[in-house]
Amino acid sequence: MRTRFINFNHAAVALAYLALLILQPIWHALAPIPLGAESWWLALVATGPLLLPLKGILKGSIRSMTWGGYLLVFYLAIGIMEVWSNPPQRLPALLQTALVTFCIYSMLRFSSVRR
């Protein structure tokens, strides 16, 4: 039974993290001007840090999930700031905020069930 919860929480973490990783270039580089910046440099800067703990998160490493969680706090702050201050980009920022919140919640569930 515990193994099933661990697998579900690990899958939830991996899917939310990958969705956030995919959202960054779509939002910053591919979305038209009112919804995004159409800047590949911004997309690379936003996507690059998420690639650092990706291998460990996909393997289910607690250490990588811890560092990924620390990293996601910055993305949460950016998402909240964009929701608050940039009305044209509110929808992608809300999506980022929701993905980060769900990913951090799943990381916490994964680490508590694993102990």
Residues 89-113 as b or e (16 or more Cβ within 10 Å = b): beebbebbbebbebbbebbebbbeb
**Confidence tier at 111 by pLDDT (50, 70, 90):** confident
* Per-residue pLDDT, 60: 92
Number of domains in the chain: 1
Look up residue 39 and give its two tokens. 């800047």
* Per-residue pLDDT, 73: 97
* Per-residue pLDDT, 92: 94
> What tens digit of pLDDT does each residue of 74-104 get?
999 999 999 999 898 999 999 999 999 999 9
Is the pLDDT confidence value at 11 over 90? Answer: yes
Enclosing domain of residue 108: 2-114
Reported pTM: 0.89
Residues 76-87 as b or e (16 or more Cβ within 10 Å = b): beebeebbeeee
